[in-house]
Amino acid sequence: MPATYIKRILDARIYDLAIETPLDEVPLISARCDNKVLLKREDLQPVFSFKIRGAYNKLRLLSDDKKAKGVVAASAGNHAQGLALASQHLGVAATIVMPRTTPQIKVDAVRRRGAKAVLVGDTYDEAAAHANKLVEEKGLTYVHPFDDGDVIAGQGTVGMEILRQYSGDIDAVFVPVGGGGLAAGVAAYIKHVRPETKVIAVEAEDSACLKLAWDKKRRATLSHVGLFAEGVAVAQIGKETYRVLKESVDEVITASTDEMCAAIKDIFEDTRSIAEPAGALSLAGLKKYVAANNWQGKTVVAIDSGANTNFDRLRYISERTEIGEKREAIFAVTIPEKPGAYKKFCQLLGRRAITEFNYRYRDNEQAHIFVGLAVSPDKNDREEILAKLQGAGYEVVDMTDNEMAKLHTRYMVGGKAPEANDECVYRFEFPERPGALLNFLTKLAGRWNISMFHYRNHGSAFGRVLVGMQVPKAERKDLEQLLDDLNYSYWDESKNPAYTFFL
């Protein structure tokens, strides 16, 4: 039962290394949400995330014999840095197995704290397999990033601090979920001490492994895990964490990439600090939840779980923020191909700010334009614009939530290629490493002609590619088999309106 964790959390003497982080009211977010919003600042820990708590608690409880033999973990993120610092503090030899796709800044951070970083494979699973091999060969102790009772108890000190730091009523605490270690510890403590306080788990839409288990009433594995919020990119909820969470969490909700980007901006405006996507996840969920349930005047807490993000990712985050804040709408509009058509279209929009306008000549009859418009998040602007344009006789498709349009099309509007017969279009995510793009092209280009190509890297461990290929219909099954063998995440976008209208 979750109640068994209370004593373990109270006994987690971690404060000779971890710090008690502040619980700050964030006035701008509070005013916007019309609720009192408190932010638990785990981004201020020595390794810029809560992970130091669980890692250190696990290490300090090891026997002297196990400490002498050393520890090992597989991680490309915050757990690696937390374990490295904890090991350095206690004088324990630590080996961190990291995928070769891990950004160099994170590899350097682990080595700087005295741990041995070993780069193996392209995925977490490959790194974990090597870490387990080291356990068998060298007798090292494996320190799991979340599915371990001592780690869960260490993370649970976050919940203990929240209740100690704010003595008034708390209506809900929003906790980010990846593998579930933080959520399990926090939920176990809060629901035991203040059962009237809601504990709401927040997951990224594209890595919602707890929601999958919640719906199926058993643990299951996601077929695809999104990489944007890498701190919560877990395919299956932990066995022990799920046992605790299913008894202590009130609800499970999700937040989109755009909503996380908007939350990153919110945190920056209130604190002048930059959260990583997983760090802003619980605030994104909080904003979504209070709006959907029309909460006003309540006291709610979000946990800013970390700030380990690459600086060059900020470009992508800023691009998506306006949509995440519901301050930009994107439309594909068909207008007549004749003089004065642009002017008439702009006159209909009035003084509304145009954020983007892309056009390529198609034929003598019609023109398709890709247009971004500033909208108000507090009004039904998006719906009103759509109705206004349709009422004026324009054919309009709302692309505000179209991933292909936001990731690729807005940068490559160029018109159709009349000679590109049998063209099909796919969107890919693949691990970013030296030679990855060449390998990708080599495997795809040997049999079918590539008729369109757009690649973007977002300053992280993955790249995004949009590819058009001329593939006869009789050979489409062969193509799908090749794509499956590539083992990259992919989506068929051949019927996406962003393609049919503009490309």
- Tokens 């788990």 locate to 201
- In this prediction, residues 368-390 reach a mean pLDDT of 80
For residues 352, 353, 358, 360, the Cα torsion angle rounded to the nearest 10 degrees is: 40
Longest CA–CA span in the chain (Å) reads 83
Predicted confidence at residue 346, as pLDDT, reads: 77
Predicted confidence at residue 378, as pLDDT, reads: 64
Cβ burial of 177 (10 Å; 0-12, 13-18, 19+) is buried
Residue range 392-403, pLDDT digits in tens: 888 888 888 887
Predicted confidence at residue 330, as pLDDT, reads: 85
List b or e across 70-87, with b for residues whose CB sees 16 or more CB atoms inside 10 angstroms: bbbbbbbbbbbbbbbbbb
Q: 327 or 238: whose pLDDT is higher?
A: 238
CA distances from 344 to 33, 348, 349, 373, 453 (A): 38, 6, 9, 16, 34
| pLDDT grade for 241, boundaries at 50, 70 and 90 | very high
C-alpha torsion sign, points 491, 495, 498, 500: positive
Average pLDDT over the chain reads 87
Q: 16 or 107: whose pLDDT is higher?
A: 16
Predicted confidence at residue 403, as pLDDT, reads: 77
Q: 72 or 427: whose pLDDT is higher?
A: 72
- In this prediction, residues 327-339 reach a mean pLDDT of 81
- In this prediction, residues 215-242 reach a mean pLDDT of 88
Predicted confidence at residue 408, as pLDDT, reads: 78
Residue of 282, 305, 451, 460 with catalytic role:
305
Q: How many C-beta neighbours within 10 Å does residue 119 have?
A: 15
Predicted confidence at residue 201, as pLDDT, reads: 98
| pLDDT grade for 369, boundaries at 50, 70 and 90 | confident
| pLDDT grade for 208, boundaries at 50, 70 and 90 | very high
| pLDDT grade for 202, boundaries at 50, 70 and 90 | very high
Residue range 130-151, pLDDT digits in tens: 999 999 999 999 999 999 999 9
| pLDDT grade for 123, boundaries at 50, 70 and 90 | low
- Residues 6 or more apart from 218 whose CB is under 8 A from it? none
Residue of 51, 211, 326, 406 with catalytic role:
51
| pLDDT grade for 373, boundaries at 50, 70 and 90 | confident
| pLDDT grade for 436, boundaries at 50, 70 and 90 | low
How many residues appear in the chain? 503
Annotated catalytic residue 51: yes
Q: Is the pTM of this model over 0.85?
A: no
| pLDDT grade for 7, boundaries at 50, 70 and 90 | very high
Predicted confidence at residue 309, as pLDDT, reads: 83
- The DSSP secondary structure of 144-205, one letter per residue, reads -SSSSHHHHHHHHHHHHHHHHH--S---EEEEE-SSSHHHHHHHHHHHHH-TTSEEEEEEEG
Structural domains of the chain ordered from first start: 2-10+19-37+159-322 (3.40.50.1100), 51-142 (3.40.50.1100), 326-401 (3.30.70.260), 417-502 (3.40.1020.10)
Pairing of strands 172-176, 299-304: parallel
How many angstroms separate the CA atoms of 234 and 222, rounded? Answer: 8
- The DSSP secondary structure of 355-395, one letter per residue, reads EEEEE----SSEEEEEEEEE--TTTTHHHHHHHHHHHTT-E
Q: Poorest-confidence range of 115-129, 237-251, 265-279, 403-417?
A: 403-417
Predicted confidence at residue 156, as pLDDT, reads: 97
Q: Give residue 123's identity as a one-letter amino acid code.
A: T
Predicted confidence at residue 457, as pLDDT, reads: 62
Predicted confidence at residue 497, as pLDDT, reads: 83
pLDDT of 358 above 80: no
pLDDT of 460 above 60: no
pLDDT of 47 above 80: yes
Contact 375, 381 (CB under 8 A): yes
Annotated catalytic residue 305: yes
Q: In what order do the strands lie in the sheet with 116-119?
A: 116-119, 94-98, 71-74, 141-142
Contact 397, 371 (CB under 8 A): no
Percent of residues, the chain, with pLDDT higher than 90: 51
How many angstroms separate the CA atoms of 325 and 262, rounded? Answer: 5
Predicted confidence at residue 319, as pLDDT, reads: 75
pLDDT of 459 above 60: no
pLDDT of 49 above 80: yes
How many angstroms separate the CA atoms of 239 and 230, rounded? Answer: 20
